[in-house]
Amino acid sequence: MENKTHIAIVTVPVYSHLRSILEFTKKLVHQNQNIHVTCINPTFGSSPCNNVNSLFETLPSNISYIFLPPINLQDLPKDIHPALKVQATIFSSVPSIQDVLNTLHSSSKLAAVVADGLITQVLPLAKKLNILAYSYFPSTTMLLSLCLHSTYLDKTISSEYKDLLDKIEIPGCIPINATDLPDPMQDRSSEAYKVFLEGNDIFYLADGIMVNSFLALEENTIRTLQQKECEGVPSIYPIGPFVQNDSCNKKRDFEYLKFLDKQEKKSTLYVSFGSGGTLSNEQIIELALGLELSGQNFLWVLRPPNEFGVIDDLDIGEYDDVNDVLLKFLPNGFLERTKEKGLVVPYWAPQVEILGHSSIGGFLCHCGWNSTLESIVHGIPLIAWPLFAEQKMNAALLSDGLRVAIRPKVNEKGIIERKEICEVVKNLMVGEEGKGIRERMEKLKGDAIDALKENGSSTKTLIQLTLKWKSLGLNI
């Protein structure tokens, strides 16, 4: 039988994380035909939704996958924070993950286990089996540095972080406002904060942490963490950017393509808040009127306001009647007044395809890391509009660190007003500041392409890592 190296990948039930780790997995087996991967997937609910199934149905034959029995979460409060819902699924899935790893390792020796950064509980399971244990971190190296530094901050700062006047210092990173720290750090008495710290401490068991970033994007942070390896920090492997490939058929007769084809090059602002991002109805109205006031072309993917109901990452496409009611949340007459300048697409559109269209000149974005990397690889400058999780940290990196984004100001009620939106949109699309941002983003685009070339920094790093794994490969 052919000599194969068997790797186990453990995912989490968060759509954006699944997309990222599966893109890494596809790159891994494409680059190394004698590597076989088994993906182990915790689940909740009756069964994975269509979007999740579609991710797995397109995987090559040398990637197999297992969906663990769904976790029953009926005892949890209905209004539980989505992050805690995911963590409850992770904790309850650990015994099943251990059973699968035991079976895989006994039948065909595993060379390594790679677990999503949210499920660090897998790392000690791998150690018990004497298997190399790695974490795949789908966000920024900046966030990783914070995670590795979070226990130190917890011990040295006594007050609530959000009450601090001074900026937070993170190794290798720009100082950031405490209000830009991730959601779990905004309330130190919360269960989410406790889970955050406990998960971060387990990172130190890893033989290495792979980051969906690249050297030119976060060089100072990456170098700083690599220098700290002698202090017990795991080896850091920047191997990105991994973004979803454009699999859409551009010949299909979609309205958004007709609209974009009519626009001049780099003249259109793409507006989208990701798979789980929602605004209040009041904010939707302000955004609509701000776009109208700016006079700039726009393509807006509109999702229901958060008053309409919480939308989970994995529930995309589950609402049959959304398209019929969505447009009612817009200001009266807005669609008619802007029909020559803009197009509103209900609920969903193929983002990678849109960002690759020549007419797109800017992206009003929630700063999720997948969307950010997609923007970078297409050279699209950003308006940073973070919503939750670590997105405010990402926004700080993009606007203050890399200077490839403009971040609008929020009023005392937490609303970005129409006048501010108008000014920011015009500044990015036709203003002097926008020109400089576009030049810097074009430079990052080139750096991202270079990182993935045959001799690029990310490719060489991944090759170095897989050579280590392949040396342990056995017949499977």
Catalytic-residue membership of 116: yes
Domain boundaries, the chain: 3-240+452-475, 255-448
**Is residue 425 predicted with pLDDT exceeding 90?**
yes
The residue from 6, 30, 105, 116 that is catalytic is: 116
Which of these ranges, 168-172, 273-277, 290-294, has the smallest mean pLDDT?
A: 273-277
CATH 3.40.190.10 fits 3-240+452-475, yes or no: no
**Domains 3-240+452-475 and 255-448 belong to one CATH topology:** yes
Average pLDDT, rounded, for the chain: 91
pLDDT band, residue 306 (cuts 50/70/90):
confident
Domain 255-448, CATH: 3.40.50.2000
Average pLDDT over residues 155-170: 96
The residue from 17, 149, 366, 378 that is catalytic is: 17
Catalytic-residue membership of 36: no
Asked whether the whole model's pTM tops 0.85, one would answer yes
- pLDDT, tens digit, for every residue of 75-111? 777 777 677 788 889 999 999 999 999 999 999 899 9
pLDDT band, residue 443 (cuts 50/70/90):
very high
SS (H, E, C) the chain: CCEEEEEEEECCCCHHHHHHHHHHHHHHHHHCCCEEEEEEECCECCCCCHHHHHHHHCCCCCEEEEECCCECCCCCCCCCCHHHHHHHHHHHHHHHHHHHHHHHHHHCCEEEEEEECCCCCHHHHHHHCCCEEEEEECCCHHHHHHHHHHHHHHHHCCCCHHHCCCCECCCCCCCECHHHCCHHHHCCCCHHHHHHHHHHHHHHHCCEEEECCCCCCCHHHHHHHHHHHHHCCCEEEECCCCCCCCCCCCCCCCHHHHHHHCCCCCCEEEEECCCCCCCCHHHHHHHHHHHHHHCCEEEEEECCCHHHCCCCHHHCCCCCCHHHHHHHHCCCCHHHHCCCCEEEEECCCCHHHHHCCCCEEEEEECCCHHHHHHHHHCCCCEEECCCCCCHHHHHHHHHHHCCCEECCCCCCCCCCCHHHHHHHHHHHHHCHHHHHHHHHHHHHHHHHHHHCCCCCHHHHHHHHHHHHHHCCCEEC
**Is residue 318 predicted with pLDDT exceeding 50?**
no
pLDDT value of position 244: 84
